[in-house]
Chains A and B, each alone.
Chain A
Amino acid sequence: MEDYKVINDYLMIRLPEEIDHHESLTISARADRYIMSGRVENIVFDFERTTFMDSSGVGIILGRYRKIACFGGKVYAVNADSRIRRILLMSGLEGIVEIMEPKKKCGEVKQ
């Protein structure tokens, strides 16, 4: 399960372990309810728990960005591992999401 918290006008979304098309439907719908409430200007996507993401994650971020950017809102990605950052960069999200420096590293657990 993902968690939502509003701090000032920032919506913090703690993303689930796996972000795919199936999961993206609930995440986007929940996030939009907060956006519609008018209390949210910026969004922080927290990838701390996330170990898997496909192109559906790109769609979540782009979709939310489009909803808040017209009001001057910003989108941030925190705790994204190298793999998730690679996916964000490959999708050209660099200019859209502010990708904060990582805390955890992908592949920290060596086999």
Chain B
Amino acid sequence: MIEIVEKREIREVSNEARVEFAAVSDNEAFARMAVAAFIMPLNPTLEELSDVKTAVSEAVTNAVIHGYENRCDRNDKVSMTCRLRGDELEVEISDRGVGIGDVEAAMTPMYTTRPELERSGMGFAFMEAFMDELEVRSEPGRGTSVRMCRKIGMTPWIAGEE
């Protein structure tokens, strides 16, 4: 089992929600909307909303395409757990799919095992860029779990772009 931990902070959980859904591509939009609804009470900025939705979309898409090998079987399930710790969102997306042999390699930008499905290998890079914390745990044959954190409603406005 490989574990990559960037940083961690312990605070009390003030709210929690968990959804489980079929590993089909239609549910990528569902997961994005669910996480957006969950953080709405924190008055997220458009930027924060968009960052969190992108990261969740990447993790769920990975579960569908890679974890469950793109077979779109309704019996394969992806779970998403959202937790609020003060002004911080923690979201964990898990599958019981094939798992990842080398997590570090998988997280390298532009690394993909499915170029024939037009994947570009940017998913983990976006999760890392758009969230404050990213932790990936995986075990071949057992599944993958991606935990991400992001402070909401606190981002100082950054002028300009790029």
Interface residues of B (CB under 8 A from A): 25-26, 28-29, 32, 43, 45-47, 50, 53-54, 57-58, 61, 64-65, 110, 117-120, 122-123, 125-126, 129, 161-162
How many whole Å from B30's CB to the nearest CB in chain A? Answer: 10
Q: Is the CB of A22 within 8 A of B122?
A: no
Give the size of the chain A interface in residues (CB under 8 angstroms).
29
Give chain A residues whose Cβ lies under 8 Å from the Cβ of B161. Answer: 82, 85-86
A86–B50 alpha-carbon span in the complex (Å): 12
Interface residues of A (CB under 8 A from B): 18, 20-22, 24-25, 28, 52, 54-56, 58-60, 62-63, 82-83, 85-87, 89-92, 106-107, 109, 111
Give chain A residues whose Cβ lies under 8 Å from the Cβ of B126. Answer: 54-55, 87, 90
Q: Is the CB of A89 within 8 A of B25?
A: no
Q: Is the CB of B28 within 8 A of A59?
A: no
Q: Is the CB of A28 within 8 A of B47?
A: no
Q: Is the CB of B120 within 8 A of A21?
A: no
How many whole Å from A60's CB to the nearest CB in chain B? Answer: 7
How many whole Å from A96's CB to the nearest CB in chain B? Answer: 11
How many whole Å from A61's CB to the nearest CB in chain B? Answer: 9
Q: Is the CB of A63 within 8 A of B125?
A: no
Q: Is the CB of A83 within 8 A of B50?
A: yes
A55–B123 alpha-carbon span in the complex (Å): 6
How many whole Å from B121's CB to the nearest CB in chain A? Answer: 8
Give chain A residues whose Cβ lies under 8 Å from the Cβ of B57. Answer: 20-21, 52, 54
**Given contact pairs A52-B57, A86-B162, a sample of 10 additional A-B residue pairs in the complex whose CB atoms are under 8 Å apart:** A21-B65, A52-B32, A54-B58, A54-B123, A60-B118, A85-B162, A86-B161, A89-B162, A106-B46, A111-B43
Give chain B residues whose Cβ lies under 8 Å from the Cβ of A21. Answer: 25, 28, 57, 61, 64-65
Q: Is the CB of B25 within 8 A of A107?
A: no
Known contacts A52-B53, A63-B118, A86-B162; is-contact A22 B25 (Cβ 8 Å): yes
Known contacts A54-B126, A89-B162, A111-B43; is-contact A22 B28 (Cβ 8 Å): yes
How many whole Å from A100's CB to the nearest CB in chain B? Answer: 15
A73–B45 alpha-carbon span in the complex (Å): 39
A22–B110 alpha-carbon span in the complex (Å): 21
A89–B123 alpha-carbon span in the complex (Å): 14
How many whole Å from B36's CB to the nearest CB in chain A? Answer: 10
How many whole Å from B80's CB to the nearest CB in chain A? Answer: 15
